[in-house]
Structure 1
């Protein structure tokens, strides 16, 4: 009994040390995660078939895609992403239009959220990986009723031309929502994670159930997106000095907002003068 307790204590101690190390070295930890997950699926590609096979039947295919509720769930992720992006853009535009007023939020927040969204789910996932790696989606491969051969992770092929399976865009967008956790007060971070992480899992599993992505597409997408978020967070918040500060952003938007106002006033005066000239000529005739 004492031996069992001792082993459990050692295991808990190792777990705490591993967690502490990951917190202290997050980028290295996530890089290792991506490497290990990639290696695992290269060595055991059959796990992808097992995971997708849970949602497939020879008679109905990937029938989850025919369930209205699950289709609505799929749209929840893009809706939240668009909503947050619109709010971020609005904060920046309002600061430009009303440069003399303090911004609605510290400007690094919308800059951080928009840059991670554009560079992560936008450029890295959709523009680079999905459009160039050529991995067919599960519903397109021979094992699940399609006519294309299965391709392992990270293998560049011509089996798919664009918007392919590797990696998952929805999984990336779901993981991108975690970027909000980096910006909320410390006391809110655990509740925010408790909401966002299950949502990320639900959105990602939903795509596997639809035959849209393999399990490996999802797990690797999570790691790559989180790695990019951590890199930009380091540039904007961790490094001293940061790549750009709230004060410098405020100054830039204030200066350019006032310049925009002056340009707008000059343009308005020119339009008024042109309108008076045209009206004068009409009245003379």
Structure 2
């Protein structure tokens, strides 16, 4: 009994130290995560087939994709991402159109959200990896009723031309929702993560169940996208001096918003003059 308690106590201490180290060194921890996941799936590629096989049957194929509830779950992720992105853009546009008023929220927040979404799920995952690595999706390979051979992670092939399996766009979008935890007050972060992280897992596994991605695709998307998030956060908030400041963004949008209003007024005056000239010409004729 004493030995068991001592072992558990040591394990708890080791676990706490590991978590504390990851929190203190997020870049290194995330790089280590990507390296370990890559090494594991390269050493044991059959793991991908085994996980996908849990959701496949010879008669129904990937049966989860026919479930109406799971189909709605799939659309939940893009809906949340689009809603956050639209709200972020709207905040910047409102500040540009109403330059004399203070912004709804500090402007680095919408800039952080938009830039991480574009650079992570947008450019890195969907434009660079998915369109160039050529990994066939599970439902397209021979083991699951398709015609193409299975390909391991990080292997560039020409079996798929664009929008391929490696890596997962849904997995990237799911982990991108973690950006909200970077921006809320510290007292809210655990609550946000308690909602976002399980949701990310559900959205990602849902795509594996549909035969749209391998499990390795989703796990690597999490790590790669999180690296982008950490990098942008460092540039905007931790770097000394930061790449941008709330005051600097406020001044930039105020200055350019006023220029835009002056330009709009000049265009409106010219339009009125053109309409008057057109009206005078018609009356004379």
Residues 1:201 and 2:198 are matched in the alignment: no
What secondary structure is seen at the aligned counterpart in 2 of 1:131? coil
Displacement after TM superposition at 1:3 (Å): 2.1
Partner of 1:128: 128
Displacement after TM superposition at 1:283 (Å): 1.4
Q: What CA deviation, in whole Å up to 9, does each residue of 1:152-201 have, x standing for no partner? A: 00000001010000000001000000001100011111111111111111
Residues 1:260 and 2:281 are matched in the alignment: no
Q: Provide the C-alpha distance between the structure 2 equivalents of 1:25 and 1:109, rounded to a whole number of angstroms.
A: 23
Q: Provide the C-alpha distance between the structure 1 equivalents of 2:78 and 2:54, rounded to a whole number of angstroms.
A: 25
Partner of 1:187: 187
Gapped regions of structure 2 (runs ≥ 5): none
Q: Provide the C-alpha distance between the structure 2 equivalents of 1:84 and 1:215, rounded to a whole number of angstroms.
A: 26
Q: Provide the C-alpha distance between the structure 1 equivalents of 2:54 and 2:14, rounded to a whole number of angstroms.
A: 34
Gapped regions of structure 1 (runs ≥ 5): none
Q: Provide the C-alpha distance between the structure 1 equivalents of 2:205 and 2:6, rounded to a whole number of angstroms.
A: 38
TM-score of the two chains, using structure 2 as the length reference: 0.99
What secondary structure is seen at the aligned counterpart in 1 of 2:110? helix
Displacement after TM superposition at 1:136 (Å): 0.3
Partner of 2:215: 215
Q: Provide the C-alpha distance between the structure 1 equivalents of 2:64 and 2:10, rounded to a whole number of angstroms.
A: 44
Partner of 2:279: 279
Q: Provide the C-alpha distance between the structure 1 equivalents of 2:281 and 2:49, rounded to a whole number of angstroms.
A: 78
Q: Provide the C-alpha distance between the structure 2 equivalents of 1:115 and 1:280, rounded to a whole number of angstroms.
A: 51
What secondary structure is seen at the aligned counterpart in 1 of 2:61? coil
Q: What CA deviation, in whole Å up to 9, does each residue of 1:107-151 have, x standing for no partner? A: 000000000000000000000000000000000011111100000
Q: What CA deviation, in whole Å up to 9, does each residue of 1:40-94 have, x standing for no partner? A: 0000011101100100001110011111111111011001111111000000000
Partner of 1:247: 247
Q: Would you say how many aligned residue pairs link Structure 1 and Structure 2? A: 285
Partner of 2:78: 78
TM-score of the two chains, using structure 1 as the length reference: 0.99
Root-mean-square deviation (CA, aligned residues, Å) is: 0.7
